[in-house]
Amino acid sequence: MNSKFIPTKVHGALDYIVAVALFFAPNIFMFNDVGGAAVLVPRILGVGLLLYSLLTNYEWGVFKAIPMRVHLAFDTIAALFLAASPFLFGFADEKVNAWLPHVVVGLAVILVVICSKSNPSREASPITDL
């Protein structure tokens, strides 16, 4: 079985969903009051994900300047940073809803990267072509 079974079209849709979820994670998981890196890390990574997704050469990309392989490398680095952030910035001893989403989402993104194809099934076209 090929471990790369998530098409770039699906990966792209997940990118935008995860970008919004990361930005609003402090509100969704009610850890906004913790402040500091617990709040800033997911928000900054959410905005970053949105920006490099818009620049990726896949079905959901608008400007198509970044190859999918580079996008996947960015995903991996960001996901590792997100998962490690509670320990790097010292908020792992806060309430579980303040640090567990960072770890779970970070590890989930790594799994998605491992399972994602690195080439669109056809030449990437504007999202209006979906």
Cα 92 to the chain's mean position, in Å?
A: 21
Q: How many CA atoms lie within 13 A of 113 on its CB side?
A: 19
Can you list the alpha helix ranges (DSSP code H) found in 59-126?
A: 68-88, 96-115
pLDDT score recorded for residue 2: 74
- Distance from C-alpha of 117 to C-alpha of 4, rounded to nearest angstrom: 5
Let me know: does 79 contact 45? Beta carbons within 8 Å: no
Query: Encoding tokens for residue 64?
Result: 């198509």
Q: What are 5-41's pLDDT values in tens digits?
A: 999 999 999 999 999 999 999 999 999 999 999 999 9
The string of DSSP letters for 10-38 reads HHHHHHHHHHHHHHHHHHHTT-GGG-HHH
Q: What are 65-112's pLDDT values in tens digits?
A: 999 999 999 999 999 999 999 999 999 999 999 999 999 999 999 999
**Residues 6 or more apart whose Cβ sits within 8 Å of residue 63:** 54, 55
For the full predicted model, state whether its pTM sits above 0.85.
yes
Can you tell me whether residue 6 is helix, strand or coil? Answer: strand
- Distance from C-alpha of 117 to C-alpha of 72, rounded to nearest angstrom: 9
pLDDT score recorded for residue 110: 98
